[in-house]
């Protein structure tokens, strides 16, 4: 199948930091994706479900079971480049899970289950700040203090920026192929999640600001006097 | 053996035209598919996308001209020469048309995002066209040396 029409029918996604609005809605994107053949669409759905897992996966799964599920599903991704992108994403997820588990302190390294190259190393270097991966993963040095501060949103943003760059690299190295399309859709998912999180954060910030304003003594007095006048 | 040599001579005569046309079909199809996708994504400039997608058709025209230049009475003496020139020129035209189609598709894809680089994005396709012109011109020059 030729992907020339589909690739040029996809809009340009702005850089993640500047992405405040999606250039194409999910409905319009799905309409364009109907150009894909059944087999390609299956691969795309699988890649999406693994890359943007969490929203549609079963919550009652243990870490071990989830890792086994990821491993078996990864076998079905026949494109090596896409499989590598997904592995990188799940590796980061495993690293975050390890940081979180260690921070909570209730479970030791023997209870940690993750996917990717670093799992054994994480268990071996459990008590080192960056699991002995400072040189292999410089970004981990920046994430570790953020995790300790509880800035989960910032951690997610930094990982998303890293993953975004990785997807762009793969997308640009494949002109007019299925990999180009899948990388675009995965990037669309990252952008959509970030925009959604930004909107949630903005709403939270607005609500806390409104609460702070209402509970301020001067404002409180004004509100009470207004109610008295009304009654 | 004589029949084989004569058959190769005929292949050399018709080769530039046939191979050039095959290349143009593939090239125009690739660029045309890209142009069709770009039509969905853009509000204006549709004409130029369709125009670019026709760029790889020139190789067919070069093929026709080379075919006429090589056209002469086939003999055992000139058939090998005609086969060599015709088939090699045809292959050059075919590959240049296919790769020009790919270049055009990329040009359409990037100029859809940034219309101001439309002209510059066509440079690779123009360079590929240049090589097709080389193959065409020198096929004409060298065909003069093939005995009638």
What confidence score (pLDDT) does residue A55 get?
Answer: 57
Domain boundaries, chain A: 4-230
Residue B144 half-sphere exposure toward CB, CA atoms < 13 A: 5
Chosen from A8, A33, A176 to mutate, greatest number of chain B CBs within 10 A: A8
Is 90 exceeded by the pLDDT of residue B11? yes
Q: What is the pLDDT of residues A165-190, one digit of tens each?
A: 999 999 999 889 999 999 999 999 99
Contacts of B34 in chain A (CB under 8 A): 4-5, 7-8, 176
Q: Is B105 in contact with A176 (Cβ distance < 8 A)? A: yes
Q: Is B33 in contact with A2 (Cβ distance < 8 A)? A: yes
Report all structural domains of chain B as residue ranges with CATH numbers, in order of start: 2-143 (1.20.120.610)
The pLDDT confidence band at residue B85, using thresholds 50, 70 and 90, is very high
Most confident region among A127-136, A216-225, B40-49, B134-143 by mean pLDDT: B134-143
What confidence score (pLDDT) does residue A210 get?
Answer: 72
B46-53 and B2-41 are packed helices; what angle lies between their axes, rounded to 10 degrees?
170
Contacts of A2 in chain B (CB under 8 A): 30, 33
Q: How far is CA B81 from the centre of its chain?
A: 21
Residue A151's alpha-carbon distances to A142, A160, A213, B27, in angstroms, are 12, 14, 25, 52
Kindly state the average pLDDT of the residues B121-136. 96
Q: How far is CA B67 from the centre of its chain?
A: 13
Stretch (H or E) spanning B107: helix B79-113
Instruction: Measure CB to CB from residue A175 to each of B106, B112, B113 and give the nearest one.
Output: B106
Q: Cα(B134)–Cα(B55) distance, rounded to whole angstroms?
A: 17
Closest by CA position to B8, among listed B89, B91, B86, B93: B86
Q: Cα(B71)–Cα(B69) distance, rounded to whole angstroms?
A: 6
Query: The pTM is what?
Result: 0.83
Q: Cα(B24)–Cα(B61) distance, rounded to whole angstroms?
A: 10
Average model confidence (pLDDT) across chain B:
94
């Amino acid at each position: 199948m030729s992907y020339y029409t589909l690739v040029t029918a996809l809009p340009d996604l702005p850089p993640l930091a500047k992405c405040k609005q999606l250039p194409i809605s999910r409905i319009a994107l799905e309409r364009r994706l109907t150009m894909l053949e059944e087999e390609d669409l299956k691969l795309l759905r699988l890649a999406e479900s693994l890359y943007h897992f969490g929203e549609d996966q079963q919550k009652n799964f243990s870490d071990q079971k989830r890792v086994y599920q990821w491993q078996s599903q990864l076998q079905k991704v026949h494109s090596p480049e896409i499989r590598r992108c997904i592995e990188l994403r799940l590796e980061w997820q495993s690293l975050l899970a390890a940081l979180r588990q260690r921070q909570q302190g209730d479970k030791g390294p023997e209870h940690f289950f993750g996917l990717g190259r670093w799992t054994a190393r994480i268990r071996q270097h459990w008590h080192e700040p960056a699991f002995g991966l400072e040189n292999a993963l410089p970004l981990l040095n920046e994430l570790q203090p953020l995790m300790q501060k509880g800035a989960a949103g910032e951690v997610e943003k930094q990982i998303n920026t890293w993953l975004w760059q990785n997807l762009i690299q793969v997308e640009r190295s494949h002109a007019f192929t299925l990999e180009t399309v899948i990388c675009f859709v995965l990037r669309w998912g990252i952008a959509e999640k970030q925009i959604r999180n930004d909107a949630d954060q903005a709403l939270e910030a607005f609500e806390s600001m409104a609460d702070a304003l209402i509970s301020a003594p001067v404002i409180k007095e004004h509100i009470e006097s207004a109610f008295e006048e009304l009654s | 053996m004589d029949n084989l040599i004569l058959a190769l001579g005929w292949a050399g005569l018709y080769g530039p035209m046939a191979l050039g046309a095959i290349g143009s079909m593939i090239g125009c199809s690739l660029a045309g598919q890209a142009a069709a996708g770009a039509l969905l994504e853009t509000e204006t400039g549709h004409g130029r996308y369709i125009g670019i997608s026709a760029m790889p058709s020139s190789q067919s025209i070069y093929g026709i001209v080379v075919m006429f230049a090589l056209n002469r009475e086939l003999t055992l003496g000139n058939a090998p020469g005609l086969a060599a020139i015709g088939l090699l020129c045809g292959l050059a035209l075919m590959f240049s048309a296919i790769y020009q189609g790919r270049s055009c598709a990329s040009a359409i894809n990037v100029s859809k995002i940034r219309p101001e680089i439309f002209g510059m994005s066509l440079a690779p396709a123009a360079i590929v066209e240049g090589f097709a012109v080389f193959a065409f011109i020198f096929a004409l020059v060298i065909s003069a040396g093939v005995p009638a």
